[in-house]
Amino acid sequence: MPRTKRLSAAAKAKRRSGKKKETCAHNYNQATAAVDETQSSPSSTRRRISKRPTLRTTIEQRKRKYKAHAVFSNVTRSNAMRKKYAENTSFRSLWRKRMQAKYVHDAVFHAHWQRRMRQKYRSNCTFRCLWRKKMQLTRAEKYKDSAFRDYWRAEMRTKYLDETFREQWRHTMRAKYKDAAFREHCRSQMRASYTHSVSNRMLKKQRVKNCRARQAATVKTCFNSAIAVFRKHIQEGPIFTCISCHRHLYRQSVSGFKMSKYKRDSNAILDRIISAFTNSDADDKRYVCITCHSYLVRGKLPPQAAVNGLLLENIPSALRVTELESVLIAQRVLFMKLMALPRGRQRAIHGAVVNVPSNVSSTVTSLPLTPSKACTVAAETETSTAI
Ligand SMILES: [Zn+2]
């Protein structure tokens, strides 16, 4: 018996894996063969070929669809045109020239295009941002040309005459000026313009002069009007008496007195004030000063009101003396220089005031005795009366 060669463990594993592979390959081949047999039958192949559309059929179908469906035709055409526009440079330039010419000469197309762009600008935020950037760049590039610059300035000046646009522009620029970078940019531009351009410098100086002249005229007008009002007020003099404090004031310091202006709680105070006011001027109107009014509105008695213990009593008839008598009994004799002020009917003291004390008792004793103290008797005669 031939002796079988002993195999190593690695060789045994290799043989086992080889057998497995052979088994898998055999199974796969069997399955493939079954499928091939099924598919490769002449009847099934004929059926499949007859079902598959040919190129000509597809084209015919697409042509029919293109003619029948407007949407499909539009989409197909626009897609084809877009593809061509993107890939073909010469077609792109040709198309642009054609559209530009149409935009210039065809009014209907021009209006339609503008309407469409406005609609897109309003509705599409991305498009709006892109369009703004594009226009800024285009304008900056164009602005280098002096002709365009002049045209643009004239256009903006014309637009600025419109009040709505002007207000909108100011609002925008104010909002923009809050940005520190933009502010600094504006300042540096103005400085550069002032430094390097003589005409701009002169123009700026002239503007400043005009502005200052306008301000001075305004101030002068205000000052003159204020003086005119003051003179009008003082022409009347302090003839308006406050019903509460009995002070004589100017017109601008008082207002008309009405009971209805005040609260019901202050009616008692008002009655006291009215009863204490006995001024019988020709003017029947009653006035109250601003200070008293402020207290009465709050229902309080004004501190300077006459009824607040400041009411002056009437002078008795026995104390009513003449001017000479009052000088004779005065305990002080004053010497002062009074001057009439140019306006306002007021007087002013000029210089020092000299106060001379007077000995009233010696004056009184040196006067002639009164009839009762002189021990005289009045008697009447037929011819004359003797004292
Ligand atoms: Zn008053």
- Ordered per-residue pLDDT tens for the chain, 387 residues: 444 445 555 556 556 655 554 444 455 455 444 444 444 455 555 555 556 667 888 888 888 888 888 888 888 888 888 888 999 999 999 999 999 999 999 999 999 999 999 999 999 999 999 998 998 888 888 888 888 888 988 999 999 999 999 999 999 999 989 889 999 999 898 888 888 888 888 998 898 999 989 888 888 888 888 888 888 777 778 888 999 999 999 888 999 998 888 988 888 999 999 988 876 655 578 899 999 999 999 999 999 999 999 987 788 888 888 888 888 888 888 899 998 888 777 889 999 999 988 888 877 777 777 767 666 677 776 654 444
Q: How far is the CA of 359 from the centre of ligand 1 (A)?
A: 39
Q: How far is the CA of 311 from the centre of ligand 1 (A)?
A: 13
What distance lies between CA 309 and its chain's CA centroid?
A: 53
Longest Cα pair distance anywhere in the chain, in angstroms? 215
Of the candidates 344, 340, 343, the one whose C-alpha atom is nearest the C-alpha of residue 237 is 344
Does residue 192 lie within any of the structural domains? no
What is the C-alpha to C-alpha distance for residues 359 and 34, in angstroms, rounded to an integer?
160
Q: How far is the CA of 238 from the centre of ligand 1 (A)?
A: 13
- For residue 296, the model assigns a pLDDT of 93
Backbone angles phi, psi at 255, to 5 degrees: -140, 165
H helix runs in the chain, sequence order: 9-39, 42-51, 55-68, 70-87, 89-105, 107-123, 125-142, 146-160, 163-177, 180-196, 198-236, 267-276, 290-297, 323-328, 360-366
Are residues 249 and 282 both part of a single domain? yes
Q: How far is the CA of 160 from the centre of ligand 1 (A)?
A: 56
Are residues 291 and 329 both part of a single domain? no
Q: How far is the CA of 242 from the centre of ligand 1 (A)?
A: 5
Q: Are 330 and 299 in contact (CB under 8 A)?
A: no
Residues 6+ apart with CB under 8 A from 250: 233, 234, 236, 237, 238, 240
Looking up tokens 């080889």, which residue turns up? Answer: 18
Are residues 241 and 293 both part of a single domain? yes
Residue 269, number of CB atoms within 10 A of its CB: 20
Q: How far is the CA of 245 from the centre of ligand 1 (A)?
A: 4
Residue 257, number of CB atoms within 10 A of its CB: 22
pTM: 0.33
Are residues 241 and 275 both part of a single domain? yes
Q: How far is the CA of 250 from the centre of ligand 1 (A)?
A: 12
What is the span of the domain harbouring residue 250? 237-297
Looking up tokens 């008598």, which residue turns up? Answer: 325
- For residue 49, the model assigns a pLDDT of 55
Does residue 214 lie within any of the structural domains? no
What is the C-alpha to C-alpha distance for residues 263 and 267, in angstroms, rounded to an integer?
7
Does residue 7 lie within any of the structural domains? no
Q: How far is the CA of 333 from the centre of ligand 1 (A)?
A: 32
Are residues 290 and 242 both part of a single domain? yes
Q: How far is the CA of 104 from the centre of ligand 1 (A)?
A: 82
Tally of structural domains, the chain: 2
Provide the 8-state DSSP code for 331. Answer: S
Q: Are 305 and 244 in contact (CB under 8 A)?
A: yes
Does residue 248 lie within any of the structural domains? yes
Are residues 291 and 328 both part of a single domain? no
- For residue 25, the model assigns a pLDDT of 45
What is the C-alpha to C-alpha distance for residues 365 and 361, in angstroms, rounded to an integer?
6
Q: How far is the CA of 203 from the centre of ligand 1 (A)?
A: 57
- For residue 295, the model assigns a pLDDT of 94
Does residue 189 lie within any of the structural domains? no
Are residues 292 and 326 both part of a single domain? no
Does residue 127 lie within any of the structural domains? no
Are residues 327 and 293 both part of a single domain? no
Going from the C-alpha of 138 to that of each of 129, 143, 326, the distances in angstroms are: 14, 8, 98
Q: Are 142 and 148 in contact (CB under 8 A)?
A: yes
Does residue 73 lie within any of the structural domains? no
What is the C-alpha to C-alpha distance for residues 255 and 293, in angstroms, rounded to an integer?
9
